Amino acid sequence: MKHLLKLQDLSREEITSILDLADQLKYEKKHGIAHPHLAGKTLGMIFQKSSTRTRVSFEAGMYQLGGSALFLSSNDLQIGRGEPVQDTARVLSRYLDGIMIRTFAQAEVEALAEYGSIPIINGLTDYAHPCQVLADLMTIREYKGKLEGLKLCFIGDGNNMANSLIAGGITMGMKVAIGCPKNYQPDEKLMAWAKGNGDFLCTDDIMEAAKDADVVYTDVWASMGQESEKKIREEAFKGYQVNDELMAVTHPGAMVMHCLPAHREEEITAKVFEEHANEIFDEAENRLHAQKAVLVKLMK
Ligand code: CP
Ligand code: NVA
């Protein structure tokens, strides 16, 4: 594994090995055992969109691994004034040991990897959010003791989260069901791959998607960069909500997950959110541990 660009690039063995290391790093952190695997190394973190979890967990994670992290806002970099990503990649490769980037186009992340000579980590694009889903898989494994055979359903927009959950879930042998409006389906190519490689369903009937699910996942109706579509989306996604009625058809003891930030009473009711707050905030915590595992795998 040279980069983390999208989860389709990883095998089941590679994902399992990241999750195992994440569990170990979490254990060590809880027991005060230092793990300075990346002493002397520097991670650059380029952000073209806002972030709370990704920024803070990567930065804190690098310090805990004995290295350092640089926050690089695209507003302050020449990239924001039009310097090509191909040139930025070749320059930053000479200063840094790894780059995490959050941006719009997946092609930009792929170009960084092609032109740079250091590991590139996708910290969210419009297409994928692989770091989030590694933390999600880690959390499901903690709660359920396994991944294979469990049913994961995602309710809402067929966005970056849906795409990465399909890629990660199917790779790990989970059943994946997406409940979304017809015009907001996940990436077509990815869905074709999922159908050919596992148990996959995409439907506009959310009750069918949620039926007997072990894990219910949701995300915002309008992602970063889609602010101008907010009103249209509110109409399109009415009813695509995780609420008591939906939870009633899931498997008893089903988990509820959310990548956060959450919009209460839109994609999820405040009641269901609070009833499952432990799972949701363990999931947020696990961003730290899962990403530290990725950093060690790529940069050590
Ligand atoms: N879930 C997630 O990536 O959160 P941030 O946007 O706060 O980084
Ligand atoms: N789909 C959301 C995820 C945020 C973590 C977005 O892209 O804004």
Residues having CB within 6 Å of any atom of ligand 2: 124, 159-161, 219-220, 223-224, 259
Which one from 132, 187, 276, 289 is the annotated catalytic residue? Answer: 132
Reading the block at residue 239, the tokens are: 């009813």
Q: How sure is the predictor about 274, in pLDDT bands with cuts at 50, 70 and 90?
A: very high
Best probe residue, ligand 2, of 48, 131, 180, 224 (max atoms within 8 Å of C-beta): 224
pLDDT at 75 over 90: no
> Cα separation of 4 and 207, whole Å?
34
pTM of the model: 0.98
d(CA 44, CA 71): 6
* Contact 124 CB / ligand 1 (< 6 Å): yes
CB distance 54 to ligand 1 below 6 Å = yes
* pLDDT on residue 74: 86
pLDDT reported for residue 31: 98
Please give the distance, rounded to the nearest whole angstrom, from the Cα atom of residue 196 to the centre of ligand 1. 31
Give me the percent of the chain exceeding a pLDDT of 90. 98
Contacting residues for 56 by C-beta, under 8 A, at least 6 apart: none
